[in-house]
Copies of this chain bind each other. A is one copy, B any other.
Amino acid sequence: MSVIYDRVALIGLGLIAGSMAHAMREAGLAREITGYARSAATRETAREIGLCDMVCDSAAEAVAGADLVVLAVPVGVMGTVAAEIAPHLAAGATVTDVGSVKQAVIAAVQPHIPAGVHFVPGHPLAGTEHSGPRSGFASLFRNRWWLLTPLPDSDAGAVDRLGRLITAMGAKMDRMEPAHHDLVLAVTSHAPHLIAYTMVGVADHLSRVADEEVIQYSAAGFRDFTRIAASDPTMWRDVFLHNKEATLDILGRFTEELFMLQRAIRMGDGPQLYDYFTRTRAIRRGIIEAGQDTEAPDFGRSPDAKGQDI
């Protein structure tokens, strides 16, 4: 694999930036990787584990001379970070981000991008419930989608080059309109996360009554919800606040549908429940066929089954 960027600056050193660093190094895609994180403790950890070639004490220093700058911070601070680095960006550089929301990030970042610098918004559909500089691993993006939402005036060459980096890290690249991205993600990711957070919260109230039995007897369904609900609170707070319209739209549809099923339970309507559950099973099959998950059963996983190369 050949070098695609001379110097890549990672702003924010969490799960996504860390995994990018590992993936770029493994495949030799960047000649040099610099990094910056707002927290001194994070910078120290990153230095300790050698996550980047150079961990800088300011974002300005990290982006100086970089031909690719990756904004890998919570969606709510993208604008602030963009304003901070703007005066220090090299002419001809590409700036991308990895935020889970695109319209709000574009609105916050785009005004700060100087002429001659290319802004190509993006979003890797990959993650785990872990966060921080130690949580990254090179294979995180493998066979996962990485969506780019270029702007109408995005430089075609800059988009293509970023696309080559993405596919070289093992991901599948696709393009999407920012508004459409935010709707699709609201249904596949944002609403499910809020629902999982909610269900775990309900259990929490109950567990106080029932002496932590709820935790002890955590069965299949709930265990998977807790995994989702253990994701980074800052990141998710920002996602909901910045993809408000689409998330609330999907949650409204969800509530309608839930009420219909609650009513079927109350009325004892077995055929309606059976038909509904049969349809949802077919969707799962579609996902497996699309290669986004495996057939391996997951609920019965034993404590020693890691199945992941961190």
| Interface residue? A103 (CB, 8 A) | no
Residues on B with C-beta less than 8 A from A128 are 220, 297-300
Q: Take A188-B203, A257-B198, A297-B128 as given contacts and tell me if A283 and B241 are in contact as well, using a CB distance cutoff of 8 Å.
A: no
| Bound form: Cα–Cα A171–B203 in Å | 24
Binds B, one of A5-13, A44-52, A89-97, A274-282: A274-282
Q: Shortest CB–CB separation between residue A52 and chain B, in angstroms?
A: 21
Q: Report the bound CA distance from A228 to B90 in whole Å.
A: 48
Cα of A195 to Cα of B228 in the assembled complex, Å: 14
Main secondary structure on chain A at its contact with chain B?
A: helix
Interface residues of A in 29-53 (CB under 8 A from B): none
The answer to whether A261 has its CB under 8 Å from any CB of chain B is yes
- Interface size on A, as a range, is 35 or more
Number of copies: 2
Given the complex, which residues of B lie within 8 Å of A140, measured CB to CB? 300
Known: A280-B229, A284-B230, A296-B306. A220 touches B265 (CB 8 A): no
A2 on the interface (CB 8 Å rule)? no
Instruction: Determine if A221 is an interface residue (Cβ-Cβ < 8 Å).
Output: yes
- The 7 A-B residue pairs with the shortest CB-CB distance, nearest first, are A307-B307, A128-B297, A192-B221, A230-B284, A233-B277, A189-B219, A229-B280
- What are 20 of the A-B contact pairs (CB < 8 Å)? A126-B299, A127-B219, A129-B297, A147-B217, A189-B220, A190-B221, A194-B258, A198-B257, A200-B284, A202-B250, A207-B283, A223-B292, A224-B224, A233-B273, A237-B274, A241-B270, A255-B258, A293-B303, A294-B306, A296-B308
